[in-house]
Amino acid sequence: MLSLSCILLAFLAASVSGSTQICGEVSSTTTKSGRYTYLTEVVATDNSGAQCISVTIDDDTSQNTTSFAATWEWNSSGDNKSITHSFPNVNLNLPSVLPVRVDNISLFPVTNQYALYSGNKVSTVGSTSAKDLQDTDVVAAVYLNIFLDADRDAAQNATTATHAVMVWQASYGNIRPPGWDTTSTTQPTVTMAGIQYTLYAGQNTINQTVYSWWPNQNISSLTALDVSPLLNYLWRKVYIPSDIYVGAVQWGNDARHSNKNVTFDVSTFGVNIMKGTPVKAIGAGEKSRKAPTFSGLVLVVIGAVMMFDFQ
């Protein structure tokens, strides 16, 4: 089992000017511009490992981007391998826009590039290797969380918001979204930048209604991909009210299991939201009229596309 001291020593050795390290269960830090706040979000209760995040405090204000790396190990066993142990993530602080009605969003661009690999952070970020993650028995995912509520204040809190929209980017080790259904032939889909996203509906452990947009391939890099059509589809098809507020946005790594330390290395991340007339999403498939079913997802309080296949 990897100890916190081992992770911290590795981070200190790799630290650079303008960076800081945060560890612990509920640690946080904010970039100098104030645009992004990092959270450790450790929820593990089985004493199976540890986590630290190295954060670049001097974010790029010209591009509104930042970078970070989270090193973790959760070497659990049995059913514990499939539950969330931590969610190292970055939150958007944009009080000039948020909260905003979901039908008043014209653009929601997301940019990121990451690699998930075994071992401590390396100086040059490579690519994610499916074999490397399989050999390390990694169970993890990468996704964007968007929280919504009819109440402006509740929408800004990940635990009080009534709804969550998850835009999944990658899944390793057979993680699936709430409401996953392999038997349905009528799940709605939306295609953007060559990626087909399938909609699944379910509930998490705090009874939020969760809508998950699931890609047909793992995605390791996004360049200003506008995800607003995925939100627009939901209110235009009356899955959610059109006057509900988007209040909080976070992106990160759902860390569940590995047999040694793993690094989620993000060379760039940026997100923005602009108010205005929404674009229309072109979807396929029929809306399910059934109420969302429960799935045991633990909520932890996340243009050009480069991709690789699920393994």
55-103: per-residue pLDDT in tens? 999 999 999 999 999 999 999 888 889 999 999 999 999 999 999 999 9
Q: Strand, helix or coil at 233?
A: helix
221-272: per-residue pLDDT in tens? 999 999 999 999 999 999 999 999 999 999 999 999 999 999 999 999 999 9
Q: Which residues of 186-209 are buried (b: 16+ CB within 10 A; e: fewer)?
A: ebbbbebeebebbbbbbbbeeebb
Q: Is the CB of residue 302 less than 8 Å from the CB of residue 168?
A: no
19-54: per-residue pLDDT in tens? 899 998 999 999 999 999 999 999 988 999 999 999
Torsion of CA 47, 30, 264, 45, to 10 degrees: 10
Residues in the chain: 311
Asked whether the predicted pLDDT for residue 309 surpasses 80, the reply is no
Asked whether the predicted pLDDT for residue 305 surpasses 60, the reply is no
Asked whether the predicted pLDDT for residue 299 surpasses 50, the reply is no
> Mind listing the domains of the chain with CATH numbers?
4-308 (2.60.120.180)
Rounded Cα distance, 238 and 207, in Å: 19
Find out whether the peptide bond into 109 is cis, omega within 30 degrees of 0.
Answer: no
Question: Between 146 and 16, whose confidence is greater?
Answer: 146
Q: What is the mean pLDDT of residues 128-148?
A: 97
Q: Which residues of 57-79 are buried (b: 16+ CB within 10 A; e: fewer)?
A: bebeeeebbbbbbbbbbbbbeee
- In this prediction the pTM is 0.87
pLDDT of residue 182: 81
Question: Between 33 and 299, whose confidence is greater?
Answer: 33
**Cα-Cα-Cα-Cα dihedral sign, residues 106, 111, 72, 56:** negative
- CA distances (Å), origin 189, targets 196, 213, 295: 7, 8, 20
pLDDT of residue 78: 86
Return the closest-CA partner of residue 306 out of 132, 115, 171. Answer: 115
Which tokens belong to 229?
A: 């059509």
Sequence-distant (≥ 6) Cβ neighbours of residue 182 within 8 angstroms: none
**Secondary element (H or E) of residue 154:** helix 152-155
181-206: per-residue pLDDT in tens? 888 888 999 999 999 999 999 999 88
